[in-house]
């Protein structure tokens, strides 16, 4: 990639993160973002359709960077692997706290589930996962992150260990309906 393009993109992202840390996405204008990034509005639009396109791309980048370092078996050996997932998450926590605040707070677990599912199951648009697998996966991801956020003021190591134990029970003790 052209160094000038990458430098401009970084400038836009840095300005956006600064503004996003101060106010909700709905209050950020392209004009103020462009001024802070020292670019003109046309330059912004040559990179992104609108502020929501920028948001979407940044959210996906951060979640992909969290997911790429975790093993495919994160929910097959959850007692051990859940710690790897949370270490990756915690390394990006300050940025995720900014990007996924306010009206975007619901999006983190949803995007994490979607991207983890692709990562773990190596699915493409033609692949399907059974309804049971989908529901179990949703409970694991959504439940784990919701429980984490509700209890993150506690001892994180203990919270992560408890979540690993719960996920281990769900994965290893769950008997699919079709096997009953």
Which contacts (CB < 8 Å, 24+ apart) does range 2-8 have? Answer: 8/37, 8/39, 8/43, 8/47
- 143 to each of 79, 105, 136, 139, 163, how far by Cα in Å? 15, 15, 10, 5, 9
Question: What pLDDT band is residue 124 in, cutting at 50, 70 and 90?
Answer: low
Q: Exposure of 167 by Cβ count < 10 A (0-12 exposed, 13-18 middle, 19+ buried)?
A: buried
Task: Quick: pLDDT tens for 96-105.
Answer: 999 998 888 8
Question: What pLDDT band is residue 180 in, cutting at 50, 70 and 90?
Answer: very low
CA separation for the pair 19, 35 (Å, rounded): 11
CA separation for the pair 135, 66 (Å, rounded): 22
Predicted local distance difference test score (pLDDT) of residue 176:
57
Task: Quick: pLDDT tens for 65-116.
Answer: 888 877 766 666 777 777 778 888 888 889 999 999 888 888 888 998 888 8
171 neighbors 141 (Cβ within 8 angstroms) = no
CA separation for the pair 78, 166 (Å, rounded): 9
- Going by the DSSP 8-state scheme, the letter that residue 125 receives in this structure is T
111: closest CA among 49, 55, 162, 167?
55
Task: Quick: pLDDT tens for 1-40.
Answer: 688 889 999 999 999 999 999 999 999 999 999 999 999 9
Whole-structure pTM value: 0.80
Q: What sign results for the dihedral spanned by CA atoms 94, 97, 100, 101? A: negative
Looking up tokens 């996920």, which residue turns up? 167
Task: Note the helical H segments in 21-155.
Answer: 30-37, 41-47, 51-67, 78-91, 93-99, 107-121, 131-151
146: closest CA among 122, 164, 163?
163
Average pLDDT for residues 174-180, to the nearest whole number? Answer: 54
Rounded percentage of the chain residues whose pLDDT exceeds 90:
36
């Amino acid at each position: 990639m052209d160094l000038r393009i990458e430098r401009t993109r970084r400038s836009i992202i840095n300005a956006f993160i600064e503004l996003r840390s101060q106010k909700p996405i709905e209050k950020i204008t392209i004009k103020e973002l462009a001024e802070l990034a020292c670019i003109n509005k046309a330059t912004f639009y040559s990179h992104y359709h609108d502020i929501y396109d920028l948001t979407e791309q940044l959210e996906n980048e951060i979640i992909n960077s969290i997911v790429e370092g975790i093993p495919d078996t994160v929910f097959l050996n959850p007692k051990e692997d859940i710690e790897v997932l949370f270490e990756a998450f915690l390394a990006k926590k300050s940025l995720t706290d900014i990007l996924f605040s306010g009206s975007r707070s619901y999006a983190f677990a949803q995007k994490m589930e979607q991207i983890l599912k692709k990562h773990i199951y190596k699915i493409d648009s033609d692949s399907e996962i059974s309804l049971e697998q989908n529901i179990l996966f949703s409970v694991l991801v959504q439940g784990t992150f919701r429980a984490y956020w509700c209890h993150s003021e506690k001892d994180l190591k203990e919270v992560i260990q408890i979540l690993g134990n719960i996920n281990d029970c769900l994965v290893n003790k769950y008997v699919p309906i079709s096997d009953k």
